[in-house]
A = this chain, B = another copy of it.
Amino acid sequence: MPTEHTVTSFEEDLKKLDRLIAEMGGMAEALLADAVDTMLKRDAEGALEVKERDKDIDALEREIDEHAIRLLALRQPVADDLRVVIVALKTAAIIERIGDYAKNIAKRTQVLSVCAEMGAGKSIKRLAALVQEMIRDVLDAYVTRDAERADEVRLRDKEVDDLHTSLFRELLTYMMEDAHKITPCTHLMFIAKNIERIGDHATNIAENVLFLVHGEMPEDARPKRDESVYVADPAVED
């Protein structure tokens, strides 16, 4: 039965896309965890290894792209199937950026040496934990096509923004108290910003899941990004 065989194989092709996305997302999540871990330990060697691992994520994006393009060319999917392929392409691009942000954290770790005594470590750890959970949950939502769960991930971005804002404020205080902390704290600010951006990207994946399930992007898609930092300037609030 060649027809049935073709159908099954097409479904296999689509499922493979999901599998690759889940794998790529898992790698990015682990990379973020390890980037933050090595940063908190000021482990420059570990950071180097994290940096290298980002290449595997990039390679997986290329694999997903190639698989998706082959699928489009050979199977010429329409309607729901076409959506699955487009969303996979978009999601892979988002996860690639998550990997970049994790790599960026690792690079900054390599130049961080002071600041070890600062309390900011705890806040960064908490921020990263929140965002890792968002990635994990949004990937689960992706694979199971669970719109409700995706929507719930989007809501959590507010918590990330608030925590990021208070961390930004905390770092500014350290910098003003001691000029020696300016350079390391600047790096910690960018690290915190990277983590906050990863949260934004988890939100973007959630929006893609909603598109996958409902066939359209949510009304308030990309509601806002990078808001938190703007109120973090004490001068503004006065």
- Where the two chains meet, the residues of A that have a C-beta atom closer than 8 Å to any C-beta of B are 58, 62, 65, 69, 72-73, 76, 78-79, 82-83, 86, 89-90, 93, 100, 104, 107-108, 110-111, 113-114, 172, 175-176, 179, 182-184, 186-187, 189-190, 193, 217, 222, 225-227, 229-230, 233-236
Contact = CB atoms under 8 A, between A and B. Distances in A.
Nearest to A108: B230
A58 B222 contact: yes
20 contacts: A65-B86, A69-B82, A72-B72, A73-B78, A76-B76, A76-B78, A86-B89, A90-B93, A100-B226, A104-B225, A104-B226, A107-B230, A110-B236, A172-B182, A175-B186, A176-B179, A176-B182, A183-B234, A183-B235, A186-B186
A130 to B, nearest CB: 21
Contact of A72 (B82, B110, B190, B229): B82
Contacts of A82: 69, 72-73
A235 B193 contact: no
Give the secondary structure class of A's interface. helix
Contacts of A93: 90, 93
Contacts of A229: 108, 190
A165 B206 CA distance: 35
Contacts of A69: 82-83, 86
